[in-house]
């Protein structure tokens, strides 16, 4: 379906981003991976995607909290792949603290990674997309793009911000064949959440099973985690012609969490 296109998926060495990169490779896309991780594991992922799906696979280790690193990554994608036709802004991190104690450096880091990095990849990808008359930008938001939870000031602010950026990008790209949407997942059991489970269990004196059931899934009416494969399938759909008229939307995949 997407043969010949190139997708840059940020934060794709783990979790949701890895699943999206894998699914887009299956659809025939060349892939540029990004993120942190063990070099051997990244290399193995690159090789398995390339050999299983017959696509080109690149990698940038850019730290997306640093603007020059993002610029270098986008130059690499331009030079080696002829630019990104699809950009999935997925890299993200979490930090939990009451507002009055929220470390300022954590605030700055989360805003830089979860919000500003998407602005930078978008501004740098758009000229090439306009030239080709086609582009798809998918921002990974969250249920926290729509509702808040206590102690997650930076994350909730960044995730609300990303839906605003999504809407502006959608409007500016609309007559250039560019579509931009946000996927807003509820809880997905990835390393990001796994760490929260362990921390919360310690902090509240609960077992990890109790934290999953009584803390995390308390908000998710289906009482089930969203899977990374479900999000990846959603992302692939948004890149398909059937989704051509979906633009500027913040699309929930949260088991009903934000319907409450
Ligand atoms: P994860 O921790 O499994 O993966 C995060 C990825 O981002 C990794 O590849 C990591 O190397 C990369 N990364 C971290 N800091 C980076 C930096 N400075 N520069 C470049 N890459 C960096 O997390 P995940 O759960 O797969 O989350 C992916 C996205 O989905 C995030 O934006 C997150 O907010 C969002 N999300 C997750 C959930 C969930 O329940 N897991 C729910 C809603 C939204």
Structural domains of the chain, ranges and CATH numbers in brackets:
6-186+227-252 (3.40.50.720), 188-225 (no CATH)
In this prediction, residues 88-115 reach a mean pLDDT of 97
Model confidence at 198: pLDDT above 90: no
What residues contact 222, with CB distance under 8 A and at least 6 apart? Answer: 255, 256
Model confidence at 203: pLDDT above 90: no
Q: How far apart are CA 85 and CA 50, in angstroms?
A: 18
Confidence class for position 195, pLDDT limits 50, 70, 90: confident
* Per-residue pLDDT, 1: 79
Ligand 1 contact, 185 CB (< 6 A): yes
Model confidence, pTM:
0.97
Q: How far apart are CA 112 and CA 148, in angstroms?
A: 19
- Say what percent of the chain tops pLDDT 70: 100
Confidence class for position 48, pLDDT limits 50, 70, 90: very high
* Per-residue pLDDT, 90: 98
Model confidence at 192: pLDDT above 90: no
Ligand 1 contact, 17 CB (< 6 A): yes
In this prediction, residues 86-105 reach a mean pLDDT of 96
Q: How far apart are CA 230 and CA 244, in angstroms?
A: 20
Model confidence at 200: pLDDT above 90: no
List 81, 155, 225, 257, catalytic entry:
155
Ligand 1 contact, 35 CB (< 6 A): yes
Atom of ligand 1 nearest to the CA of 231: 30
Gap from CA of 184 to ligand 1 centroid (Å): 13
Query: For the segment 212-229, what is each residue's pLDDT rounded down to a tens digit?
Result: 999 889 989 999 999 999
Mutate to test the pocket of ligand 1, among 9, 16, 147, 229 (most ligand atoms within 8 A of CB): 16
Gap from CA of 9 to ligand 1 centroid (Å): 11
In this prediction, residues 84-104 reach a mean pLDDT of 96
Atom of ligand 1 nearest to the CA of 117: 19
In this prediction, residues 92-104 reach a mean pLDDT of 95
Between residues 41 and 195, which one has the greater pLDDT? 41
Q: Is 155 a catalytic residue?
A: yes
Gap from CA of 251 to ligand 1 centroid (Å): 18
Three-class secondary structure of residue 183 per DSSP: strand
Q: Which of 69, 87, 72, 70 is nearest to 29 (CA)?
A: 87
Gap from CA of 258 to ligand 1 centroid (Å): 21
Ligand 1 contact, 139 CB (< 6 A): no
Helices 15-26 and 228-238 meet at what angle, rounded to 10? Answer: 50
Model confidence at 112: pLDDT above 90: yes
Gap from CA of 15 to ligand 1 centroid (Å): 7
* Per-residue pLDDT, 106: 98
Model confidence at 199: pLDDT above 90: no
Model confidence at 177: pLDDT above 90: yes
């Amino acid at each position: 379906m997407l043969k010949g296109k190139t997708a840059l998926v940020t934060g794709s060495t783990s979790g949701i981003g890895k699943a999206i990169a894998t699914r887009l490779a299956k659809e025939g896309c060349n892939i540029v991976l990004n993120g942190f991780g063990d070099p051997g594991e990244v290399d193995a992922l690159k090789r398995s995607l390339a050999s299983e799906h017959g696509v080109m696979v690149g990698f940038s280790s850019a730290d997306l909290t640093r603007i020059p690193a993002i610029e270098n990554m986008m130059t690499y994608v331009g030079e080696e792949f002829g630019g990104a036709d699809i950009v999935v802004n997925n890299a993200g991190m979490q930090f939990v603290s009451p507002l009055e104690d929220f470390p300022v450096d954590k605030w700055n880091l989360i805003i830089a990674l979860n919000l500003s990095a998407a602005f930078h990849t978008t501004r740098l990808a758009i000229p090439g997309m306009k030239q080709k008359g086609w582009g798809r930008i998918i921002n990974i938001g969250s249920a926290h793009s729509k509702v808040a939870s206590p102690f997650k000031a930076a994350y909730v602010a960044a995730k609300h911000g990303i839906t605003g950026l999504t809407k502006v990008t959608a409007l500016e790209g609309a007559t250039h064949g560019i579509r931009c949407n946000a996927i807003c997942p509820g809880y997905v059991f990835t390393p990001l959440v796994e760490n929260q489970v362990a921390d919360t269990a310690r902090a509240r004196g609960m077992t990890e099973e109790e934290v999953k059931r009584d803390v995390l899934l308390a908000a998710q009416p289906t009482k089930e985690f969203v899977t990374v494969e479900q999000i990846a399938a959603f992302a692939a759909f948004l890149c398909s012609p059937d989704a051509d008229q979906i633009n500027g939307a913040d699309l929930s995949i949260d088991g009903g969490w934000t319907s409450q």
